[in-house]
A and B are shown apart, each in its own frame.
Chain A
Amino acid sequence: MIKPVNQKAWWLVLPVVICVAFSAILPLMTVVNYSVQDIISPERRVFVGTEWFVSVLRDEELHSAMVRQLVYSFAVLAVEVPLGIALALAMPAAGWRASATLVLVALSLLIPWNVVGTIWQIFGRSDIGLLGAALQAIGLEYSYTGNPTHAWLTVLAMDVWHWTPLVALLCYAGLRAIPDAFYQAAQIDGASRLAVFRYIQLPKLRGVLMIAVLLRFMDSFMIYTEPFVLTGGGPGNATTFLSQYLTQKAVGQFDLGPAAAFSLIYFLIILLFCFVLYNWMQRVGTHSTGTAASDAGERGAV
């Protein structure tokens, strides 16, 4: 699609900018303010420049938390994206079955995250929980509190259970947006089921897939409540991801300065990863489709 230049379009965008700027710019500046000061008490503030940033970045534990976080986020993506696509393809397209499936699939998204962690806490216990008891009945040793691998897998399973529907719902809506004529034309062209998926469905899903991947990446990168409630970061620090690490630092030390500095660094790390991912996906998208991805591709090289 060729897009004409039209500066009046700014009027359409203005409400959005106002809503978000009001919420975003002012608070952000406050944080930046805090991050370069040593706030000993409300009255005594000393400007310390980049001292906090340096000390935070040198932290060894930060590095290991970062690695843990990255592995986790990529694992999450590797499971949830294909599973979500498969689920969207499997869900019925119309009728009461479609409505019922939509509701059932969406349920896990609606539970407050601390409750999610709480449920899985009980769910995973061998003595009183369904999952734990079932695994024990098969004869598998399972303890998410004692065994780091089990803890990891449980947190991962919990995330997959919780968030795959997000990917699935986005892909499902994307599939519904494909006009019937494409399937009809493919039928007349004698295309196989696989060809239909490869040449029609997958290209048309590029737009929503990009949204799904970025959303899941950034949200999993910021994940806090669910693993915290389930494992508390343990055993040891096996499931202590970045945001929990930050909270420990800030709460533990009651220091606004380093906390603010870390918040900014955290934000910048996410920003960097998302920026790279975003542009990479745009580049891949612009090469092939005439739909959302390629038009957004004009916004790609930001």
Chain B
Amino acid sequence: MARIQLDIAHSYRANPRDDADYALLPMRQTFEDGGAYALLGPSGCGKTTMLNIISGLVAPSQGSIRFDQRDVTQLPPQQRNIAQVFQFPVVYDTMTVAQNLAFPLRNRGMDEARARARVGVIAEMLDLSAQLDQRAAGLSADQKQKISLGRGLVREDVGAVLFDEPLTVIDPHLKWQLRRKLKEIHRELRLTLIYVTHDQVEALTFADSVLVMARGRVIQSGSPSELFEQPAHRFVGHFIGSPGMNFIPVNRLKHGGSVSGSGSGSVSSFDDLIPPGAITLGIRPEYLGMGESKPGEPSEMNLLAAKVQRIQDLGSSWLVSAQVESGAEGGSDCLVRLRLARDAAVPALNQVVGLRVFGPHTRFYDAQERLIGRESEGALR
């Protein structure tokens, strides 16, 4: 068990001058004991650097790390009670599975009987008991990753297990099995787990708390639903979700057309719906609705006109891409996407529809791309 506290910055260069020189900008981060965390972000965002600093493979150029109040900044990995699983399986080919699992214990001088017992327990947990006496070399990739994981778990003093994109070389249909196994392990052993990935599905299903990173800083951390509902930064809104959040410039809302009432010619002004300082409106495809016009009834107000460009059949739902109409001259393209349920009425191509962009799930972002009007404090960086 380990509560990990980071207060670090890291640069691979000797004399960093500006932000671009830093792999990790100065940050404070705490990983609670027994929590499952994911470090999510695109390539080069610094997530692997952070992981390696936690494990001790890289020493931070500035700052310190504490495990349960103990300063471990200068300690090498083998003295930190951590285990790390890498992107592709690391197994000792010449040994059997049992010997692989026992290796870290033997190196630390544990006696044979205890080691064997411990190996048995872990093998059972990982469904490897049947392969214990097989040569590690001949196993499949997912089994080898389990061995890698097992070597980390077998040590009784392990407080945290770190994962560096461990499912990269696993067959897709085996990935979910391994993910499920990881969750089981987490429930049973209550270790602190930190998982690095660029795949949001992995991150959101695995972790209790996800840290979204970009360009060396943590943009937002929170539960998967927090990140989905309240993206603190445009980047998070865009990165999470498939497809990500739609962003519509506010001036487009003001000048864009609206579906008026039949013949009444009233044009709604959206101004009172938009908070001061907002530059962009954000709404997720899941929450973007389509107004229906029933003949003989007054149309809905506050709808944004958009022309349907493309309709994709995703099996369980429809994905409609529409171009927001531009009232002003020279308005740039603004493509939005919305999800429709399988049984909903699907519009035709090039049909102009009214989009319900205002609702409880609508968010606004300021000129610095930050969320306006966030109630919850804390994770905003």
Contacts of B82 in A (CB 8 A): 188
Asked if B93 and A289 make an inter-chain contact with CB atoms under 8 angstroms apart, the answer reads yes
Given contacts A182-B90, A188-B77, contact A294 B137 (CB under 8 A): yes
How distant is A131 from chain B, measured CB to nearest CB, in Å? Answer: 42
Interface string of A264-302 (1 = CB under 8 A from B): 000000000000000000000001111100100000000
A100 within 8 A of B: no
The distance from the CB of B82 to the nearest CB of chain A, in whole angstroms, is: 7
Q: Contacts A185-B84, A288-B135, A294-B137; is A200 near B76 (CB within 8 Å)?
A: no
Q: Which residue of B lies closest to A290 (CB)?
A: B137
**Cβ–Cβ < 8 Å partners of B83 in chain A:** 188
Assess the A181–B88 pair: CB atoms within 8 A.
yes
Contacts of A181 in B (CB 8 A): 86-88, 90
Q: Beta-carbon contacts of A179-217 to B below 8 Å, as 1s and 0s? A: 101101101111110010001100100000000000000
Interface size class of B (residues with CB under 8 A): 20 to 34
Interface 0/1 of B87-128, CB less than 8 Å to A: 110101111000000011001100000000000000000000
Q: Is B11 positioned at the interface, with any CB of A under 8 Å from its CB?
A: no
Number of A-B residue pairs, CB cutoff 8 Å, is 62
Query: Which residue of chain B has the shortest Cβ distance to A191 in the bound complex?
Result: B107
Q: Are A289 and B90 in contact (CB under 8 A)?
A: no
Which chain B residue lies CB-closest to A2? B140
Listed residue (A182, A188, A200) with the most chain B CB atoms within 10 angstroms of its CB: A188
Interface size class on chain A is 20 to 34
Please give, as numbers and ranges, the residues of chain B lying within 8 Å of A199 by CB-CB distance.
Answer: 92, 94-95, 103
Chain B residues whose C-beta falls within 8 Å of the C-beta of A290 in the assembled complex = 93, 136-138
Q: Is A191 within 8 A of B90, CB to CB?
A: no
B57 contacts which chain A residues (CB < 8 A)?
A: 184, 187
B148 at the interface (CB under 8 A from A): yes
Interface centre among B86, B94, B95, B152 (most CB of A within 10 A): B94
B103 in contact with A187 (CB, 8 Å): no
- Tell me which residues across on chain B come within 8 A of A182, comparing CB atoms: 90
Picked from B78, B88, B93, the residue with its CB within 8 Å of the CB of A188 is: B78
Q: How far is the CA of A42 from the CA of B54 in the complex (A)?
A: 82
* Cross-interface CB contact of B55 among A179, A188, A189, cutoff 8 Å: A188
User: Is B151's beta carbon under 8 Å from chain A?
Assistant: yes
Give every chain A residue within 8 A of B108 (Cβ-Cβ).
Answer: 190
Neighbouring A residues of B55 by C-beta, 8 Å: 188
Partner of A288, one of B76, B93, B103, B104: B93
Name the residue of chain A whose CB is nearest to the CB of B79.
Answer: A190
Measured between C-beta atoms, what is the minimum distance from A288 to chain B in Å? 5
Q: Considering only CB atoms, which chain A residue lies closest to B57 in the complex?
A: A184
Report Cα–Cα, A190/B56, bound state, in Å: 13
In the complex, chain B residues 41-96 whose Cβ is within 8 Å of any chain A Cβ: 55, 57, 76-78, 82-84, 86-88, 90, 92-95
- Distance, CA A289 to CA B103, complexed state (A): 17
Instruction: Report yes or no: A185 in contact with B107, Cβ–Cβ below 8 A.
Output: no
Asked, given contacts A181-B90, A182-B90, whether A189 binds B104 with beta carbons under 8 Å apart, the answer is yes
Given contacts A184-B86, A288-B94, A289-B93, contact A190 B137 (CB under 8 A): no
Docked-complex contact A188 and B84, CB < 8 angstroms:
yes
Q: Which residues of A contact B135 (CB under 8 A)?
A: 287-288
CB distance from A2 to the nearest CB of B (A): 9
Q: Complex Cα distance A294/B84, Å?
A: 28
CB-CB under 8 A from A179, the residues of chain B are 88
Q: Chain A nearest CB: distance from B119 CB in Å?
A: 14
B residues whose Cβ falls under 8 Å from a Cβ of A: 55, 57, 76-78, 82-84, 86-88, 90, 92-95, 103-104, 107-108, 135-138, 148, 151-152
The 5 closest A-B CB pairs, nearest first, are: A290-B137, A190-B107, A181-B86, A185-B90, A189-B104
Beyond A179-B88, A185-B86, A288-B94, 17 additional contacts (C-beta under 8 Å) are A181-B87, A184-B57, A188-B77, A188-B84, A189-B103, A189-B107, A190-B78, A190-B104, A192-B107, A203-B93, A287-B135, A288-B93, A288-B135, A288-B137, A290-B93, A290-B136, A290-B137
A and B contact pairs by CB, cutoff 8 A, 10 listed: A185-B86, A185-B90, A187-B57, A187-B76, A189-B103, A191-B107, A199-B95, A288-B93, A288-B137, A290-B138
